[in-house]
Amino acid sequence: MHYCILKYENGFRFHFGGSKMLERREYKTKQKKAVQAFFLERHERCFTAEEVYIHLGNSGMEVGRTTVYRSIARLCGEGTLRRYIPPDTGNAACYQYNPCGNPHLHIRCTSCGGLAHVDCEEARAFCRHIASHHGFALDEGQTILMGRCKQCRL
């Protein structure tokens, strides 16, 4: 039996041997790697897909807007990026590199916009308290506590 790549569909390679599909592997592009590198290098901030598209274009990379959106969607699906919809963006989703796979809360400074991960036992205890005493399970990936960071309070 011989193997061949029959076609590309939705960014995936489909490998066929004879008439049977043998496996489905993700097709990795240099554009997807560039999008991932963009977020990794700026892991402390959130960005919209449009901001990523503009930055990559300004840095000389030829990448289409749709490619950026699809790459971000795949990275979110893999858990590499987290998606947020802050109230101050006019419903534009923001994305940030997710340095850990553990569920955790986030804090955002209302002055400078900085976003930080809160991954500690006290935060987990807070989530357990909300669940056990109030019957409410927090979506930790979407939970952002708002306030002012230490630098902005000075």
- Residue spans of the domains in the chain: they are 29-99, 101-154
- The CATH label, of 3.40.190.10, 3.40.50.2300, 3.40.50.620, 1.10.10.10, for the domain at 29-99 is 1.10.10.10
What is the C-alpha separation between 109 and 115, in angstroms, rounded? 7
Question: What's the pLDDT score for residue 23?
Answer: 45
Mean pLDDT by 10 residues, the chain (154 residues): 40 45 54 90 86 93 91 89 71 80 79 81 91 90 84 90
> At residue 33, what are phi and psi to the nearest 5 degrees?
-65, -35
Tokens 């590309």 map to which residue?
A: 8
> Which candidate, 50, 38, 46, 40, places its Cα nearest to that of 109?
46
- Which pLDDT value is given to residue 88? 61
CATH class for the domain made up of 101-154: alpha beta
Tokens representing 28 are 């990795």
